[in-house]
Amino acid sequence: MRTFPYLLTLVAIAMSSACRKEIVGTEPAQPDTSAVLVNSSFEVGGNPSLSGWISSSPTLIDFSPDVPVGGGIWSVTLDADWTFPPSLLALVSAAEVTQVYMLAIWGKRVGIGGSASIVVGHDGMLTSSKSISIQDTVWKVYTIIDTISTESGDSVGVRLSGGVSPLAAGTTFFDLCLMERME
């Protein structure tokens, strides 16, 4: 098994290198073939962005300048709802293989909290593999490691949820969402 530079960065220096920024006038870095998600920091060129993410409830999703140490300029916020929680989804194609995936994300909540999940798409159905609830009211790194078997045509990814509550309000903040294939 290899050492995961992003996981070490999370622990050692608050994942400051995970917010990838393009520096004008330099050669672009070679892509990390173990990295699964694009736009892990919910911003492009210093502007808030959901590029690479699918939104279920655009009116309950917003951006905030409240970011964790090492974050960029923006985090994404998802409000709790009393019917179906708003969610963001990022999927990538998966090979026909059994693979270990690591999801690391910064999160915090105000009121009712949401969750982050590793998801698998198979035959048009999306199922959660493993989930973690965002329970802290200050920025914290949440991590999930899971072994997933996929077939040809399957996809894997991340779902972020704002939470469900018929009585209480809540907002969940997410930033620096990183999912990697572990070797």
Residue pair 182/34 in contact (Cβ under 8 Å)? The answer is: yes
Dist CA 6 CA 12 (whole Å): 10
Q: What is the pLDDT of residue 124?
A: 83
Q: What is the pLDDT of residue 21?
A: 29
**Which residues neighbour 47 within 8 Å (Cβ) at sequence distance 6 or greater?**
74
Dist CA 93 CA 69 (whole Å): 31
Average pLDDT, consecutive stretches of 10 residues, N- to C-terminus, the chain (183 residues): 34 31 32 65 92 86 94 92 85 88 95 94 86 96 94 92 84 94 81
Q: Which domains does the chain have, with CATH numbers?
A: 5-182 (2.60.120.260)
Residue pair 54/39 in contact (Cβ under 8 Å)? The answer is: no
